C-alpha cells in the first residue's frame, strides 16, 4: 500500500532491468531516460536491479573502490525511475565477491560471502560496509541517500542466501563448531545427544571437539536432519535480525526480506518470521555442462498441474506482502508460452503483491551495446518475443486486474514438527496442499500466528499441513472440522501409526497423494466453496478456480482464462475450443491466443482490442546434441525467428459489423489488414471470423494484432 492510502493494497509489475557486466554496466543518462520511458509504456511500476556491487566493482583493484562513472550512472537511473513513479527493489548482497577488489572474473564466486556471512565477523562487517557505501551516501540527483529515499520500497538483505542452498555442494568446515555449540546448548552434553540421536550419532562425533557432521543434501528425515534444520532456522532468523537492525540504524524504513529460494517446509518456516516474503522459481532452469553446452527440459509446465507455480503459491504467508522477483519458463523450452497465462493469471487470483519475470525486461532494439549479444538466451526476456508477450499479458491479467481474486482463502497451519521433523532439505509442500492454490486462495500460517493475532484475519478456512481436515473460520474463530475421510486419508493414518516418519515420504506419491487431494476437494465442495458448475475433477486432472474464471486441464496441457475484459487459451491439442466471446475454430500448431479489451469496456462491447498470439521462437542456427533438443551445443545468432502459425478465430462482439483486424509489428505499429467475415447466420451480425496466418504477413511473423473500428 502507499503511505497516503494505507488501506488500499497495491500491485507491482516489476521490471528486471538489463544491467550487468555484459551490457556495459549502467546505461548512460540519455539511454537511462529511454529505458525508463519504455518501462512506463509497458506498464511497469517497479524495477529490480541485480548485482549492483558487481557492476560498480568491475575492474577495480581496491576494496569498495567503486567505478565513479558507473556510480554516477546508477544514481541517475535511480532518479529517473523516481521521477517517473517507478519504485525499486534492491539486493544488499548479490555477488559472492561483494565489494572486494582485485577480482578478475566477478561472476565467479571466490570470496564465499553468502556462506561466511553467518559466522565470520569480517564478512559481516563487509556486508555492512556494502550497505552504507552503495546505498547510504547522498545521491546528487535526488538530494538524499537511497536508504532514506522512499523510492526504495524493498531491500533483499542477501539474495538467494538460504543456508541449505549456499551449502548444497557441501557445508563449510567452519560451520561444524557453530553447530556443535548449538547442540551443546540444546542437549547439555554429548551423552544427552547420544540418547536423543541414538545410533545416528557416529563413532568419532563429539560435541566437545566440535566434530558433528551435517547430513547430505538428499538425506531424508532423521533426528540429525531435524536438528540441522532447526539450527539453520534459528541462525537465519538471528542473521536477518542483525541485518535489519543495521539497515534501520542507517535510516532505511522500507520493507526487508531474505531467503527467497528453496521450497522445503523448513525454509517456509524461516520466511514465516519475515516482514515481507519474496520468492524465486523457474520451470526449466538450465543445467550447465561446460562451455556453451547446457540442457533445458522440453516438456510442458501444465502437464504436472503447474507445479512450478504451485511451489510459489505455497510460499505465500497470510498477512504478509508476497512478491515473486524471479520467475520464468526458460528459453528454449518450446512450451514457454504457457507462462504467459499461468503466472500472471494465478498471481492475480492469489492477490500477490508483485511479480517479475527475470531478467532484462526491455530492450531498445536488437542492436546491442558494449558488445552484448542481442539474440535470445535463457533469462533474456526482452529479446524473446514469447517472453515479451507474457509480460504484455501480465500487465492486463495481473496489474490491470482482469482476473478476479479468489472468493475464499485457506490458511495452511504448520509448525516446527512439520518443518523440521516430518520433512528434509529436499522436502516440499504436499501436493494435496499446493493443488488448492489452483482452486482457491491459499496462504501459510506459521504456528497459527495470523489467526491468533487478529479477529480480522484474511482467511475463512483452515487446513493443517500434514493432517486431514478442513475447518471454517467465522469472525476469526475456528469452527468444527467439516471434513470427511477418504481411502487415502485412512491409509495415511495406518502409515503414520506403523511406519513413523517414513509415512510422510510415502504419502507424497502415487495413489495416496491423489486420494488426499480428492479428499481436500470434497471438503471444499461440502463447504460450498465451489459452485455446482465448477469443473474441478481430481480424477481428470482438471482445476477450476472458485471464481470459475481460470481452468487448467493438465492431461490436455491446456489453460483457459475467461474474464469480462480478457479471454485467453494456451493449448497443445489442435481442436476447436469454445471460450465465451472467443472461439478457436482451427489451428495448425500449439499456441497461446488472447483477446483483451483496451478501451475500458467488456470484451463483448469493446471497440478496440489487442490479440496476443504466441507459439515459439528460436535463434538462427541453434544446434543441439540430441534429437529431443534438450542439450544445446550452439546458441545460434540473429535473426530471431518466430514459429509461424495459422489460426482461425471467432469473436462475439456488439460492434461486429464495423470491426477490422490488423497485424502489428513488435513495436505495436499497425501493419497489414486481415480479412474479416461476419459469422453465419448473417442476420445475427454479432460475431466475426478471421484467420491469422503469421507466415504471410508482409512484415514477418508477429505476436500482436489489433481489432478496432
pLDDT by residue (tens digit) across 145-187?
999 999 999 999 999 999 999 999 999 998 999 999 999 999 9
Q: Tell me the mean pLDDT in the region 510-539.
A: 93
**The pLDDT of residue 437 is above 60:** yes
- Sheet harboring 704-708: ordered strands across? 542-544, 550-553, 558-562, 566-571, 591-597, 608-614, 704-708, 660-664, 670-674
The pLDDT assigned to 45 comes to 98
Examine the fold and report which residue of 346, 368, 399 is the final residue of a domain before the chain moves on: 399
Angle in degrees, 0-180, between the axes of helices 190-197 and 175-187, rounded to the nearest 10: 90
Per-residue pLDDT at 593 exceeds 60: yes
The confidence score (pLDDT) of residue 2 equals 78
Lowest mean per-residue pLDDT among 292-306, 613-627, 677-691: 677-691
Contacts for 513 with CB less than 8 Å, ≥ 6 apart: 430, 431, 432, 488, 507
Contact 657, 685 (CB under 8 A): yes
Of 373, 399, 425, the residue at which a domain comes to its end is 399
Rounded to two decimals, what is the model's pTM? 0.95
Q: Is residue 48 part of a domain?
A: yes
- Percent of the chain exceeding pLDDT 90 equals 84
- The domain total for the chain is 2
- pLDDT of residue 21 exceeding 80, the answer is no
User: Would you say 27 and 77 are in contact if contact means Cβ atoms under 8 Å apart?
Assistant: yes
Average pLDDT score over residue span 548-572: 99
For residue 659, the domain's CATH number is 2.60.220
What pLDDT score does 272 carry? 96
* pLDDT average, residue stretch 418-445: 97
Going by C-alpha positions, the residue among 378, 269, 270, 273 that lies closest to residue 329 is 378
d(CA 137, CA 472): 51
Of residues 321, 328, 329, the one with CA closest to residue 350:
321
**Mean pLDDT over the full length of the chain:** 93
Q: How far apart are CA 125 and CA 154, in angstroms?
A: 22
Burial of 1 (0-12, 13-18, 19+ CB in 10 A): exposed
490-508, pLDDT tens digit by residue? 555 544 554 555 545 554 5
Helix (H/G/I), strand (E/B), else coil: 90: strand
Task: Tell me how far apart the alpha carbons of residues 335 and 346 are, in angstroms, rounded to a whole number.
Answer: 18
Mean pLDDT of 93-117: 94
Rounded CA separation 221/215 (Å): 10
Query: In angstroms, rounded to a whole number, what is the distance separating the alpha carbons of residues 603 and 119?
Result: 58
pLDDT at 378 over 90: yes
Whether 257 maps to a domain, the answer reads yes
DSSP for residue 404? P
**Per-residue pLDDT, 503:** 47
Helix/strand/coil for 40? helix
Contact 257, 463 (CB under 8 A): no
At residue 57, what are phi and psi to the nearest 5 degrees? -100, 0
Contact 451, 322 (CB under 8 A): no
Mean pLDDT of 203-212: 91
Measured distance CA(232)–CA(219) in Å, rounded: 16
Q: Is residue 250 part of a domain?
A: yes
Give the pLDDT confidence score for residue 475 in this predicted structure: 72
Residue 309 phi, psi dihedral angles, 5° rounding:
-70, -40
- Does 444 map to a domain? no
Query: At residue 480, does pLDDT exceed 50?
Result: yes
Are the C-beta atoms of 250 and 147 separated by less than 8 Å? yes
- The answer to whether 331 and 294 have CB atoms below 8 angstroms apart is no
pLDDT exceeds 80 at position 257: yes
Is there a contact between 491 and 515 (Cβ–Cβ < 8 Å)?
Answer: yes
Provide the β-strand partners of residue 256. Answer: 155
Inter-residue contact 430 to 516 (CB < 8 Å): yes
User: Looking at 383, 399, 415, which one is the last position of a domain?
Assistant: 399
Specify the range with the lowest mean pLDDT, choosing from 228-242, 361-375, 582-596, 656-670: 361-375
Q: Which residue has the higher pLDDT, 5 or 150?
A: 150
CA–CA gap between residue 434 and residue 346 (Å, rounded): 13
**Mean per-residue pLDDT for 592-616?**
98
Instruction: Name every residue whose Cβ is closer than 8 Å to that of residue 391 and which is 6 or more positions away in sequence.
Output: 13, 42, 357, 361, 381
CATH number of the structural domain spanning residue 54: 3.20.20.80
409 falls within a domain:
no
Instruction: Find all residues with CB under 8 Å of 559, minimum gap 6, and list them.
Output: 302, 306, 338, 341, 342, 345, 550, 551, 552, 553, 569, 570
Average pLDDT over residues 72-98: 98
pLDDT for residue 510 is more than 80: no
What's CA 171's distance to the chain center, in Å?
Answer: 27
Residue 40: domain span = 12-172+218-399
Amino acid at each position: 500500500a502507499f503511505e497516503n492510502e494505507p488501506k488500499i493494497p497495491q500491485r507491482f509489475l516489476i521490471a528486471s532491468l538489463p544491467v550487468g557486466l555484459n551490457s556495459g554496466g549502467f546505461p548512460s543518462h540519455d539511454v537511462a531516460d529511454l529505458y525508463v520511458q519504455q518501462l512506463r509504456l509497458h506498464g511497469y511500476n517497479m524495477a529490480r536491479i541485480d548485482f549492483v556491487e558487481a557492476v560498480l566493482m568491475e575492474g577495480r583493484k581496491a576494496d569498495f573502490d567503486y567505478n565513479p562513472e558507473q556510480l554516477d550512472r546508477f544514481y541517475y537511473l535511480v532518479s529517473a525511475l523516481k521521477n517517473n513513479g517507478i519504485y525499486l527493489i534492491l539486493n544488499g548482497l548479490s555477488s559472492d565477491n561483494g565489494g572486494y577488489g582485485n577480482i578478475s572474473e566477478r561472476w565467479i564466486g571466490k570470496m564465499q560471502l553468502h556462506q561466511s556471512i553467518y559466522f565470520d565477523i569480517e564478512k559481516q562487517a563487509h556486508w555492512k560496509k556494502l550497505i552504507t557505501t552503495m546505498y547510504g551516501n547522498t545521491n546528487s540527483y535526488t538530494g538524499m541517500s537511497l536508504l532514506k529515499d522512499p523510492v526504495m520500497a524493498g531491500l533483499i538483505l542477501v539474495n538467494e542466501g538460504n543456508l541449505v542452498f549456499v551449502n548444497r555442494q557441501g557445508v563449510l568446515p567452519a560451520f561444524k563448531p557453530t553447530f556443535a555449540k548449538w547442540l551443546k546448548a540444546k542437549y547439555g552434553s554429548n551423552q544427552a545427544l547420544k540418547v536423543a540421536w541414538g545410533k545416528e550419532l557416529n563413532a568419532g562425533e563429539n560435541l566437545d571437539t566440535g566434530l558433528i557432521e551435517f547430513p547430505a543434501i538428499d538425506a531424508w528425515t532423521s533426528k540429525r536432519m531435524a536438528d540441522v534444520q532447526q539450527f539453520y532456522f534459528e541462525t537465519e532468523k538471528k542473521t536477518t535480525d542483525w541485518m535489519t537492525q543495521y539497515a534501520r540504524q542507517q535510516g532505511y524504513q522500507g520493507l526487508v526480506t531474505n531467503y527467497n529460494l528453496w521450497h522445503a517446509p523448513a525454509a517456509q518456516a524461516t520466511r514465516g518470521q519475515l516482514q515481507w516474503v519474496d520468492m524465486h522459481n523457474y520451470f526449466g532452469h538450465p543445467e550447465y555442462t561446460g562451455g556453451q553446452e547446457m540442457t533445458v527440459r522440453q516438456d510442458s509446465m501444465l502437464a504436472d498441474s503447474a507445479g512450478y507455480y504451485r511451489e510459489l503459491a505455497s510460499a505465500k504467508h497470510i498477512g504478509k506482502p508476497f512478491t515473486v522477483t524471479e520467475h520464468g519458463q526458460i528459453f528454449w523450452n518450446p512450451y514457454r508460452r504457457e507462462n504467459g497465462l499461468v503466472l500472471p493469471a494465478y498471481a492475480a487470483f492469489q492477490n500477490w503483491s508483485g511479480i517479475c519475470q527475470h531478467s532484462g525486461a526491455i530492450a531498445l532494439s536488437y542492436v546491442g551495446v558494449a558488445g552484448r549479444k542481442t539474440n535470445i538466451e535463457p533469462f533474456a526476456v526482452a529479446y524473446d518475443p514469447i517472453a515479451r508477450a507474457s509480460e504484455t499479458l501480465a500487465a492486463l491479467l495481473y496489474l490491470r486486474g482482469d482476473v478476479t481474486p479468489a472468493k475464499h482463502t485457506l490458511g495452511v497451519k504448520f509448525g516446527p514438527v512439520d518443518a523440521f521433523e516430518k520433512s528434509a532439505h529436499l522436502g516440499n509442500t504436499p501436493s494435496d496442499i499446493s493443488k488448492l492454490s489452483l482452486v482457491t486462495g491459499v496462504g501459510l500460517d506459521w504456528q497459527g500466528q495470523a489467526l491468533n493475532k487478529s479477529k480480522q484475519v484474511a482467511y475463512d478456512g483452515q487446513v493443517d499441513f500434514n493432517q486431514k481436515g478442513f475447518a471454517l473460520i467465522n469472525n476469526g474463530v475456528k469452527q468444527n472440522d467439516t471434513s470427511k475421510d477418504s481411502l487415502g486419508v485412512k491409509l495415511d493414518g495406518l502409515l503414520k501409526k506403523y511406519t513413523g516418519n517414513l509415512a510422510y515420504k510415502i504419502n507424497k506419491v502415487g495413489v495416496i497423494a491423489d486420494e488426499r487431494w480428492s479428499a481436500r476437494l470434497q471438503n471444499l465442495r461440502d463447504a460450498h466453496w465451489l459452485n455446482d458448475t465448477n469443473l474441478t475433477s481430481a480424477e481428470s486432472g482438471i482445476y477450476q478456480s472458485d471464481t470459475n474464471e481460470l481452468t487448467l486441464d493438465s492431461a490436455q496441457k491446456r489453460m483457459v482464462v475467461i474474464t469480462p475484459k480478457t479471454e485467453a487459451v494456451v493449448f497443445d491439442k489442435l481442436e476447436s475450443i469454445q471460450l465465451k466471446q472467443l472461439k478457436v475454430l482451427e489451428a495448425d500448431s500449439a499456441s497461446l491466443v488472447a483477446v483483451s479489451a483496451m478501451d475500458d469496456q467488456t470484451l463483448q462491447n469493446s471497440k478496440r482490442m489487442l490479440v496476443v498470439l504466441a507459439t515459439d521462437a528460436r535463434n538462427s542456427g541453434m544446434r543441439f546434441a540430441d534429437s529431443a533438443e534438450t542439450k544445446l551445443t550452439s546458441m545460434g545468432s540473429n535473426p530471431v525467428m518466430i514459429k509461424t502459425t495459422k489460426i482461425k478465430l471467432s469473436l462475439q462482439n456488439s460492434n461486429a459489423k464495423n470491426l477490422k483486424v490488423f497485424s502489428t509489428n513488435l513495436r505495436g505499429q499497425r501493419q497489414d489488414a486481415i480479412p474479416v467475415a461476419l459469422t453465419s447466420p448473417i442476420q445475427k451480425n454479432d460475431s466475426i471470423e478471421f484467420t491469422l496466418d503469421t507466415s504471410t504477413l508482409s512484415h514477418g511473423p508477429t505476436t500482436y494484432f489489433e481489432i478496432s473500428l
